[in-house]
Amino acid sequence: MKDKLRIYVFGASGDLAKRKTFPALFELFSRGLLNDVELVGYARTEMSDEEFRDVLSEFLTCRYVPGESCQTYMDDFLALCTYEHGMYDADSLDKAFSKYEHVENNIFYMALPPVVYVSAVDAIHGAECFEYCQSSLKLVLEKPFGHSLASSEDLQDSLSSYFVEEQFYRIDHYLGKELVQNILVLRFANIFFEPLWNSEYIERVDIFWKETLSLHGRAGYFDKYGIIKDVIQNHLIQILALISIERIAELSTDNVSCAKLKLLDSVKKLTKNNAVVGQYIGNGQVPGYLEEPGVSEKSKTPTYARVNLEIENERWKGVPFTITAGKGLDETVTKVVVSFKRVKPIFKDMCECQSVPNKLVIQIQPEPHIYLGICNKVPGEGFKLSKKRLNFLYSEGYNEQIPDAYASLILDVIKGDKNMFVGIEELQASWRIFDDFLAESESNDGDMPVAYTFGANEKEVF
């Protein structure tokens, strides 16, 4: 059927599918952006269509439609959803999907543990029922893309024997966040940042990812990965790349991807001397990391890391880029802080301003917010100066809802727009930065992370 879109969600019984994928699809549907579509869940668990719809309905929320019509939207959306069950081999897929009529556009969303990716992709490739759409189908993969450089290369070698790179969409959901996408606009659609965006005017760049939570039921996953692989090597290094890439001639997937690759290739490999890792201990109310169920007794997995990265190119010579990420801290925030160099004082009373440089802060979450710290004259006689903020809160500046990151990215997949997805070369370049450090710290000789108390202010601890 011409133009009809079918989205298959593999692993549809799982956490990601229920909490993120289907709610994001519902958001698109309720915004009128999902037309002529069928949504098919697939997993090993046996469920009827009705049972599947009941599960999904618990996770759908009405952000885009008024309360009274929401139920109608939900019912219409759920009517588009069906469910099949089976294993990840070609015969099982044929058994489940041969009855489905052929449609023009097919997307396979892998909401599956990465160990299943290769068999699932192999099965799609081998299934007779999908033979007709082999060259046009798209595959959406979720991080983690491997747990080291070698394993990500192995994964890629296997996947690329079935489909070509253009067909893969590697989701890093931070790239779907409004404020992360806005980094390119802020930098390249305003005249005043770019001339200052270099080592002559910028003193340092800090990227913070802090969370008050502990493991939140993810011990099994987190203990194998740790904070660097969970958020730094992917989400935060992508933000670093967007903050520091060279100006692109125009927005296109090739231009963005090439610029990010060039940048990531010029980041010096992380060494022990440039990193601090920590692990939280209990505070009397919340148990320490090692006491969490599912965490191995002598785990050296870091729940905190601060890494100082150096970009070896002309623009960023000598400018430290520091990424700090931690769980069990005193606040939940993700933000970029660009600190500018200090001006030569011409006023006598510059103390307050001189102690802190001008800063541009891009707060990604929880509250989208951009502000610029400036030095200002206190009203009155003479020249008394103080620090103030030029402030832009999204909640005050826009009436529009901020789209969910997954909804934005799934819409891009439907449109075939890959600007905000992770290309294979940049993925491997980002692994290269951390690989040696991770291998050393995970080895038997690796040091135990520094202990910090759950709920600590990281400035006081490290």
- Here's the x/- map for ligand NAP, 32-51, by CB under 6 A: it reads as -----------xxx------
Positions 50 through 89 that interact with ligand NAP (CB under 6 A) = 88
Counting contacts by CB under 6 A, is residue 407 touching ligand NAP? no
Residue among 141 and 267 whose Cβ is closer to ligand NAP: 141
Counting contacts by CB under 6 A, is residue 288 touching ligand NAP? no
Residue 360 CB, nearest approach to ligand NAP (Å): 29
Who's near 362: CB < 8 A, 6+ residues apart? 179, 182, 183, 186, 335, 336, 338, 370
Q: 122: exposed, middle or buried (C-beta count within 10 Å: 0-12, 13-18, 19+)?
A: middle
The span of 31-39, 130-138, 139-147, 185-193 binding ligand NAP (CB under 6 A) equals: 139-147
Pairing, β 333-340 against β 275-281: unpaired
| CA–CA distance, 386 with 189 (Å, rounded to integer) | 29
Residue among 72 and 332 whose Cβ is closer to ligand NAP: 332
Site size for ligand NAP, by CB under 6 A? 19
CA 133 vs. chain centroid, Å, equals: 29
| CA–CA distance, 124 with 134 (Å, rounded to integer) | 8
Among 6, 7, 9, 11, binds ligand NAP (CB under 6 A): 11
- Here's the x/- map for ligand NAP, 102-121, by CB under 6 A: it reads as ---------xxxx-x-----
Residue among 146 and 326 whose Cβ is closer to ligand NAP: 146
Among the residues of 167-286, which ranges form H helices? 178-188, 219-227, 237-244, 253-265
The 369-377 sheet, strands edge to edge:
385-393, 369-377, 359-365, 333-340, 202-210, 320-326, 304-310, 275-281, 450-453
Whether residue 279 contacts residue 301, with contact meaning beta carbons closer than 8 Å, is answered with: yes
Residue 365 CB, nearest approach to ligand NAP (Å): 15
CA nearest neighbour of 323 among 338, 301, 308: 308
- The verdict on whether 147 is a catalytic residue reads no
Residue among 93 and 338 whose Cβ is closer to ligand NAP: 93
Residue 16 CB, nearest approach to ligand NAP (Å): 3
Residue 104 CB, nearest approach to ligand NAP (Å): 27
Who's near 8: CB < 8 A, 6+ residues apart? 40, 42, 106, 107, 108, 109
The span of 10-18, 200-208, 257-265, 293-301 binding ligand NAP (CB under 6 A) equals: 10-18
Residue 226 CB, nearest approach to ligand NAP (Å): 14
Structure-block tokens of residue 364:
């990604």
Counting contacts by CB under 6 A, is residue 142 touching ligand NAP? yes
Counting contacts by CB under 6 A, is residue 14 touching ligand NAP? yes
The span of 9-17, 268-276, 307-315, 437-445 binding ligand NAP (CB under 6 A) equals: 9-17
Residue 144 CB, nearest approach to ligand NAP (Å): 6
Residue among 109 and 321 whose Cβ is closer to ligand NAP: 109
Counting contacts by CB under 6 A, is residue 211 touching ligand NAP? no
Positions 144 through 173 that interact with ligand NAP (CB under 6 A) = 144
Identify how many contiguous H helices and E strands the chain contains and give both numbers. 16, 15
Among 138, 143, 177, 210, binds ligand NAP (CB under 6 A): 143
| CA–CA distance, 208 with 147 (Å, rounded to integer) | 22
Name the catalytic one among 147, 173, 216, 235.
Answer: 235
The span of 15-23, 145-153, 238-246, 377-385 binding ligand NAP (CB under 6 A) equals: 15-23
Kindly list the distances between the CA atom of residue 186 and the CA atoms of 81, 247, 277, 356, 416, in Å, as whole numbers in the listed order.
Answer: 39, 12, 32, 23, 24
Residue 327 CB, nearest approach to ligand NAP (Å): 15
* Unique residue bearing structure tokens 């090439």: 258
| CA–CA distance, 34 with 413 (Å, rounded to integer) | 12
Q: What SS3 string covers 178-205?
A: HHHHHHHHHHHCCCCCHHHCCCCCEEEE
Angle between helices 405-415 and 178-188 (to 10 degrees): 70
* End-to-end Cα distance, the chain: 60
Residue nearest ligand NAP by beta-carbon distance = 14
Active site residues: 235
Q: Which residues bind ligand NAP (CB under 6 A)?
A: 11, 13-17, 20, 43-45, 88, 111-114, 116, 142-144
